[in-house]
Amino acid sequence: MNKIDVIILAAGKGTRMNSSLPKVLHKLAGRTLLHHVISAVNCVSDCRIIVITGYKAEAVEKLHAQNNCIFVRQSEQLGTAHAVKMALPHIRDLSDVLILYGDVPLVSTCTIRKMIGAVKEGQIGLLTVEKDNPFGYGRIVSNEQGCIESIVEHNDATSDQLKITEVNTGVMAMNVSQLKKWIPKIKDDNRNNEYYLTDIIEIARLNSCAIRRIQPNSVIEVEGVNNREQLSRLERSYQKRLAYEFMVSGNSLADPSRFDQRGKLKTGIDNYIDVNCIFEGEVQLGNNITIGPNCYITNSIIDDYAEIKANSYVESSKIKSGATVGPFARLRPGTLIGKGSKVGNFVEIKKTTLGNRSKVNHLTYLGNATIGSDANIGAGTITCNYDGSKKHETTIGENVFVGSNTTLVAPITLSNDSFVAAGSTVTNSVSEGQLAVGRAKQRNVTGWKPPAK
């Protein structure tokens, strides 16, 4: 079986994006356009990926260095055939070659497999699509039998050829021996004086090689990005597809048009997501979870029957079954909310474990803390975990009651069944069953006069 080498063309600036970023570094659903393409071809075993870079090559290469790609720089951009030619020294002998584009991000693994299958049968695979408005696309010219004869670029097409609605996507696949033999035959005798990779189709036909037209399951797979308006349309189309997949898997959305998934979302069933929620990174949802409007959840795990109320922010945290978070709560990285616990409005928690059935209902900051089960943390409580140099731990046992407006100066331990009086500043640990009172002595001044107004 032949190896598969994939060439991804990603050298362009993207002038119409009006951006300092290379076009392939613009993001779709939270990932760069180029990353989408690389992810799609990772389904192919023993695959070598060669990325052709050009404009701001260093930035493109640095951002995708972890993807095990070979980067080849095209310092002078003379056309798509010239870009492919730059990759030839890195193509393995006896391989099949698939050519993709870094600004066409949503080609599917299914389509990729069909393209590779055509090559294995001795043909060239050419991905085409029917478009109602084919302006700007190369037209597929076929003979009377319907066999592909050539591709004519829009600027070079005759008036009759411009009426053709089957267009070239640029994606093609062939054997390396064919590619190496035919690339040198491509000329730049066209209006743009560029070396068009599309010319290889006509050369193949002249060499009696069959061209198999392959069409994608959805037009969205071959939509390219040339400007920000196209990027926004592609974003919505892609999100609509993700929303559909979420719903058919047994979950509900208040409004599919106001759902954003920017990464991987693994989910059970019977979950309900209200409007304007964003899921980023890797998020895992259990079953029967309710998430209110305007919530942001990233790289987190939420177990069965949990509820995230409106306007809450959950980052790199775990929420166990039956817990309630929000509204207006913020969970920062390293937070674990126990079963049946409650985190209320305007509470911020970081690197803290909140035990089962414990409550932090409002206006509180907990950082670097471990809290046992059935604890009650009153409004306005703060763990003073940072001394200006180091972070320190606060440990609160089971069945502990902390009154409102309490300051806990870490490192400190509140043992099981201890109490802290409201308004206290606590600097020493509290033993089991003790009541800590850390208030200044109150004085009532008789005869005091307010300042004159």
Catalytic residues: 362
Residue-wise DSSP of 90-110: GSPTTEEEEEEETT-TT--HH
**Residue in 104, 80, 127, 129 with CA at minimum distance from that of residue 28:** 104
* Closest by CA position to 356, among listed 392, 306, 422, 282: 306
Three-state DSSP state, 131: coil
| Residue 305 CB coordination number (10 Å) | 18
Checking DSSP bridges between strand 412-414 and strand 394-396, what pairing results, if any? parallel
Q: Give the E-state strand segments of 221-300 in sequence order.
A: 252-253, 259-267, 272-273, 277-285, 290-291, 296-298
- Taking 3-state DSSP, the helix, strand and coil percentages for the chain, each rounded to the nearest 5, stand at 20, 35, 45
Helix (H, G, I), strand (E, B) or coil at 149: strand
CA neighbours closer than 13 Å in the CB half-sphere of residue 3: 14
> Virtual CA dihedral for 397, 400, 403, 407, nearest 10 degrees?
-10
